[in-house]
Amino acid sequence: MGLGQRRKYANLLMPDVRFAPTVLKGGYETLTFAGGDGTVQIVIDPMAQPNKIYFEPGGTIQKYEMFPLGWGNMDGEFKQRAGYDEYDRFLKLYANLGTEQRNNLTKVADLVEPSLYS
């Protein structure tokens, strides 16, 4: 959810005060709402696409890795630059993101981004 949709959602609930802001460790606040059998946390992403809200229940998207994070090399040795205290190394990770429950992921599109003063 982007910043504009957060503002729109908070403005809808402000008169009823149905949401409880939760204070996080860095001093940031997050919105939660009661849905179903418990509260659901809304994560705000400033880089989210405008006019869209994405729903992803926790644990739905998983990381599948063939090899864990480690040093990548072809022959198992450090490559040293001649005459310098400098080595060439790189990290590698063979992984992908996936899900086995695609029906849990939801996108709401065609929302109207609120104006600054609404």
- Going residue by residue through the chain, which has 118 residues, state the pLDDT in tens, using 9 for 90 and above: 777 777 777 777 666 655 555 666 666 666 666 666 666 677 778 888 888 888 888 888 999 999 888 887 766 667 777 888 887 778 889 999 999 988 888 888 888 877 766 5
Both structure tokens of 38 = 């418990």
Rounded to 5 degrees, what angle do the CA atoms 65, 67, 69 make?
95
Residue identified by tokens 């982007």 is 2
Q: Are residues 15 and 69 in the same domain?
A: no
Q: Are residues 82 and 111 in the same domain?
A: no
Q: Are residues 52 and 109 in the same domain?
A: yes
Q: Count other C-beta atoms under 10 Å from residue 43's C-beta.
A: 11
Q: Are residues 7 and 23 in the same domain?
A: yes
Domain that holds residue 7: 1-56+101-118
Task: Tell me the H-state helices in the chain.
Answer: 3-13
Number of compact structural domains in the chain: 2
Distance, CA of 33 to CA of 6 (rounded, Å)? 12
